[in-house]
Amino acid sequence: MAPSLLPTPESSGTSTPTSTTAASSLTAAGIKHQQPATNGHGDTSLSPLDASRMTFTQCQTPREVPEPNSPEVMAQKTCTDHMVTARWTSTSGWEAPELKPYGPFSIMPTASVLHYATECFEGLKLYRGNDGKLRLFRPSRNCERMRRSCARIALPDFDAKELEKMIIALCARDGAKWLPASSAKGSFLYIRPTMISTDPALGVQRPKEALLYVILACFPDMSRSLATPAPPALAGAANGNGHSETKKEIQGLKLLASNEDSIRAWPGGFGYAKLGANYGPSLVAQGEARARGFDQVLWLFGEDCNVTEAGASNFFVVWRNKSTNKLELVTAPLTERIILEGVTRASILDLARERLTSPQGSLEAVEVVERKFTMHDLLEAADEGRLVEAFAAGTAFFVAPVGLIHFRGRDVEVPVQGESGDYAKMLKSWLSNIMYGKEAHEWGVEVEEVEA
Amino acid sequence: MAPSLLPTPESSGTSTPTSTTAASSLTAAGIKHQQPATNGHGDTSLSPLDASRMTFTQCQTPREVPEPNSPEVMAQKTCTDHMVTARWTSTSGWEAPELKPYGPFSIMPTASVLHYATECFEGLKLYRGNDGKLRLFRPSRNCERMRRSCARIALPDFDAKELEKMIIALCARDGAKWLPASSAKGSFLYIRPTMISTDPALGVQRPKEALLYVILACFPDMSRSLATPAPPALAGAANGNGHSETKKEIQGLKLLASNEDSIRAWPGGFGYAKLGANYGPSLVAQGEARARGFDQVLWLFGEDCNVTEAGASNFFVVWRNKSTNKLELVTAPLTERIILEGVTRASILDLARERLTSPQGSLEAVEVVERKFTMHDLLEAADEGRLVEAFAAGTAFFVAPVGLIHFRGRDVEVPVQGESGDYAKMLKSWLSNIMYGKEAHEWGVEVEEVEA
């Protein structure tokens, strides 16, 4: 049988492999080698994913690193010189991972991923710390979530630690050049682990071939670029739609609450998993929101209009509880499995429970609550002056304050003190301190760089 | 900007292009050229999809046609010598379609389709008629549905007639060799029009690049191969699960009703569209069903357990109405947009309304009804002896009688007279007569073959 995924000698003018492969020892010393995992099909005779078998092929045509926030970076198409791939078949298990020049894949027109969306991914960042060191933020969480996503979309299982080592090997290799020690404060690269089924059989069935890969991309700072007011062209387009934020400058994200005819996820579906199948179907609603001058869709669910996610981020509210008169930090629960178990979400909840349940400087203590809440609860809190702030939280947008929500013909303004609400600002700064090494914390995982 | 999808000179040992392109005039004479469509973004300055601009590159390394139901055919990986592709960009619209040698695509690791499931497809068949002529069955329906799928997944629009011409051009080119006039009665090839987004930008946004392609595959007769009893290995695996069909031979498909924790589609979602995002997420449930000795999942929806689809097919029941005592042919309605608007489904409804609402030979007349019905309705009808037959209907499985449904620990046996229920048999034969040219009918679209 012809392999469904062949290395393509011609990359798109970006980089070409020339050297032979050689054993690599790039995996981070700090991570212990676990027992080999089974492949998730219960057959231990198949090869497990094993980062220690990784081969390395040096890129011979390295490219220039684009300027921060240059058009190349804004286009979100530029990746670093290398990538990591690992091929899996149902008959042999995982082949040796390859760290090799970044370039296109050769994929058969019948490949499962092109027809049946047998794909999932992760998103995390590589940070250049204030101390000059490279760090990841809780990468084990992404790697474990990737396993859950794979399980939901019938892709093979693997040991999460091995994926983490592959990520670290790529970051170690390309970090020095693509995120130099001279980088501006707050610089990062975006890491995209992905798994696709390359199985060339058209039958609707569990895939028998897959490719796991990790790429490292130059990305703009989304939390900043989108927190500005809508450009005039977009703001103008919004005039006919009954929302009024164009009349004055709104700080923070502007969200358009979803309609009943556009539901992101459903109990018994797959909203909790990072599957391609959750993203493509959201693009029409998101495009409409953008065309009307909003940044993102606020996804509601059910007749009660439960608030679930903002765009591809989790959504948090700080309000004063009507009954107890206490401040609460609230986000939707994971129980129905319709929202993504965000790493930023979990980290915010952890930090808030640790540091915000008693007063913090001038900030009043909050109760930290994961529970269902509705758009009507939110409206009522706004009307009664109990709404303190709201923010989206996720890897791409980080912690992004929300300034306005449009819901069924009505604009709900959310207080934003200056650039951000105080709680969002505090949480963002704590997280940022860990990511950039200002605060030593177990969530910050150092990456040792390879000498080029 | 580097193109995201380049032709790959090395195909996987199957076929390689060598000749230069030349204008092709392969489009069917019988189809009139319509006004050019807009690209669906309201910008008429962009090039519309235009089959008359199609170029042709002859395959120089033709392959052998596999025997019917050989391992190659069962694997569903073998395509014919050529394929049709057409590239789209948001800045230029549709490029000239290319009829060219079948082979792999070169796709960037960042391509939208690999991350966000920006993909949709169609499935139809090319039939070798009893009169020796090649025919398609209502291809315009597939082409129009493909436009609706594209709209749902943020892919570009096109004139359905132009896609139909591209399909016909491919069938005309490869039909003579791959579905020879000497083919056994009932032979067909499977046609898979597909659209994917090749946009290499990682941002979660409407794609700016896409590829429409059509491939022609050797496919087994699914309605026959799956209507046999489960193989011993599978039947054995089912023993522990409380269903009893292994004790005797069950004719027809064996369906496993879905659990509440596995929902195929929901209102406000995209169940009506032929998106990859509907298929990948169903593979785990389907794999479990197969492992337990069932052919397909019967997808239920909601607390009431409404019956929606069987696997990737529509589902029909014939029963005697409890109140009126009349026979009814029932299938789920399209109103909630959670089930696929099948071409076979529509054709069965059309034919049944035309020919079965009065007695047909020895067959009693039926009322043809599109309405919601529940698993409990079905159980009750079975218990009271009112259940006459049930069948799945779709392009891949055609009309496949159902012999057993397992629902929450209970086996519901569905009457099957011999190989098929009488109504399924009659409808299948009418459809088959049109497909294979025994009955002259406007639904059968002849394809004029090209001399090789």
- DSSP for A386-443, written as a single string: -EEEEEEEETTTEEEEEEEEEETTEEEE----TTS-HHHHHHHHHHHHHHTTSS--TT
Tell me the C-alpha distance between A36 and A163, whole Å. 12
Does A194 share its domain with A271?
no
Interface test with B, best of A73, A282, A283 (most B CBs within 10 A): A283
One-character DSSP codes across A214-251: EEEE----HHHHTSSPPPHHHHHHHGGGT--GGGSPPP
Would you say residue B33 lies in a domain? Answer: no
Residue A247: count other Cβ atoms within 10 Å of its Cβ: 10
B333 vs B36 pLDDT, higher one: B333
* B367 and B257 belong to one structural domain: yes
Q: What is the mean pLDDT of chain B?
A: 87
Task: Please report, for residues A252, B265, B373, B374, the alpha-carbon distance to residue B304 in angstroms, rounded to integers and kept in the order given.
Answer: 43, 15, 9, 6
Which CATH number is B290's domain given? 3.20.10.10
Tokens of A13: 């003018």
**For the purposes of burial, counting CB atoms within 10 Å of the CB of B114, is it exposed (0-12), middle (13-18) or buried (19 or more)?**
buried
How confident is the model over B56-110, as pLDDT tens digits? 999 999 999 999 889 999 999 999 999 999 999 999 999 999 999 999 999 999 9
- And the tokens for B376? 């409990």
Q: Does B447 reside within a domain? A: no
Identify the three-state secondary structure at position B277.
helix
Residue A139 lies in a domain: yes
Closest to A289 (Cα-Cα) out of A404, A435, A145? A404
A183 and A80 part of one domain? yes
Question: Closest residue of A to B260, CA-based?
Answer: A268
Span A355-397, pLDDT tens digits:
999 999 999 999 999 999 999 999 999 999 999 999 999 999 9
Classify residue B200: in a domain, yes or no: yes
Q: Is B342 a domain residue? A: yes
**What's A184's domain CATH number?**
3.30.470.10
Q: Which amino acid would we find at residue A56?
A: F
d(CA B403, CA B418): 11
pLDDT band at B249 (very low <50, low <70, confident <90, very high): confident
Residue range B355-410, pLDDT digits in tens: 999 999 999 999 999 999 999 999 999 999 999 999 999 999 999 999 999 999 99
Q: Which residues contact B53 (CB under 8 A, 6 or more apart)?
A: B96, B97
| pLDDT beneath 70, residues of chain A | 1-44, 223-248, 452
- Percent of chain B at pLDDT above 90? 79
Cβ of B205 within 8 Å of Cβ of A286? The answer is yes
B-chain residue closest to A106, CA distance: B106
The total number of structural domains in chain B stands at 2
CA distance B198 to chain A (A): 10
- Beta carbons of A283 and B204 less than 8 Å apart: yes
Same domain, B153 and B273: no
| Bridge partners, A313 (sequence order) | A310
**In a domain? residue A120:** yes
User: How close A48 gets to chain B, by Cα (Å)?
Assistant: 21
Q: What are phi and psi of A412, to 5 degrees?
A: -105, 115
Co-location of A426 and A278 in the same domain: yes
Domain hosting residue A352, numbered range = 253-435
Closest by Cβ to A152, choosing from B117, B196, B281: B281
Instruction: Specify whether A314 is located in the same domain as A190.
Output: no
Which residues of chain B have a CB within 8 Å of the CB of A206?
283-284, 286-287
Report if residue A324 sits inside a domain.
Answer: yes
B20 burial level (CB within 10 Å; 0-12, 13-18, 19+): exposed
* Whether the Cβ atoms of residue B413 and residue B389 lie closer than 8 Å to each other: no
CA distance A327 to chain B (A): 34
How does pLDDT run across B171-192, given as a tens digit for each residue?
999 999 999 998 888 899 999 9
Same domain, B136 and B271: no
- Cross-chain CB nearest to B12 (options A6, A196, A213): A6
Q: Which of B116, B146, B215, B292 to mutate to test the interface with A (most CBs of A within 10 A)?
A: B116
Whether A244 and A411 have beta carbons less than 8 Å apart is answered as: yes
Which of B6, B279, B311 shows the shortest C-beta gap to A116?
Answer: B279
Q: Regarding beta strands B124-128 and B327-331, do their DSSP bridges make them parallel or antiparallel, or are they unpaired? A: unpaired
What local confidence, expressed as pLDDT, does residue A434 receive?
98
- Give dist(CA A11, CA A21) in Å, integer: 18
Secondary element (H or E) of residue A95 = none
CA-nearest residue to A116 within chain B is B276
Residue B250 has pLDDT above 90, yes or no: no
| Widest pairwise Cα distance in chain B | 69
Three-state secondary structure call for residue B403: strand
Rounded to a whole number, what is the distance in Å from the CA of A16 to chain B's nearest CA?
A: 14
CB contact under 8 A, B202 and A194: no
Q: Which residues of B touch A109 (CB under 8 A)?
A: 79, 83, 102, 104-105, 194, 213, 215
Q: Which two tokens stand for residue B329?
A: 């042919």
Quick one: what percent of chain B has pLDDT higher than 70? 84
A206: closest chain B residue by CA: B283
Nearest CB to A154; choose among B1, B75, B283: B283
Q: Is the same domain home to B197 and B272?
A: no
Kindly state whether residues A67 and A169 are assigned to the same domain.
yes
Chain A contacts of B205, Cβ < 8 Å? 283, 286-287, 290
Minimal CA separation from A47 to chain B, in Å: 22
My answer on whether A278 and A129 are in the same domain is: no
On whether the CB atoms of residues B395 and A204 are closer than 8 A, the answer is: no
CB nearest B108 (choices: A12, A110, A219): A12
> Looking at beta carbons, which residues of chain B come within 8 Å of A268?
259-263
Q: In the listed set A169, A203, A218, which residue is the last one of a domain according to the structure? A: A218
Q: Does the interface ipTM go beyond 0.85? A: yes
* Interface residue of B73, B146, B204, B214 to substitute, partner A, most A CBs within 10 Å: B204
Cβ separation B154–A196 shorter than 8 A = no
Q: With beta carbons under 8 A apart, name residues in chain A contacting B278.
A: 277
- The rounded distance, in Å, linking the Cα atoms of B448 and B135 is 9
Identify whether B43 is part of a domain.
no
R_g of chain B computed on alpha carbons = 23
Indicate yes or no: CB of A104 within 8 angstroms of CB of B108.
Answer: yes
User: Under an 8 A CB cutoff, do B115 and A279 touch?
Assistant: yes
SS3 of B64-107: CCCCCCCHHHHCCCCECCEEEEEEEECCCEECCCEEEECCCEEE
B270: chain A residues, CB-CB within 8 Å: 281
Q: Are residues A163 and A276 in the same domain?
A: no
Q: What local confidence, expressed as pLDDT, does residue A3 receive?
A: 37
Q: For residue B83, give the nearest of A76, A109, A268 by CB distance.
A: A109
Q: Which residues pair with A17 in a beta bridge?
A: A59
> Is the pLDDT higher at A239 or at B350?
B350
- Chain B positions touching A6 (Cβ under 8 A) are 10, 12, 104
Contact between residue A327 and residue A319 where contact means Cβ atoms under 8 Å apart: yes
Q: Are residues B304 and B177 in the same domain?
A: no
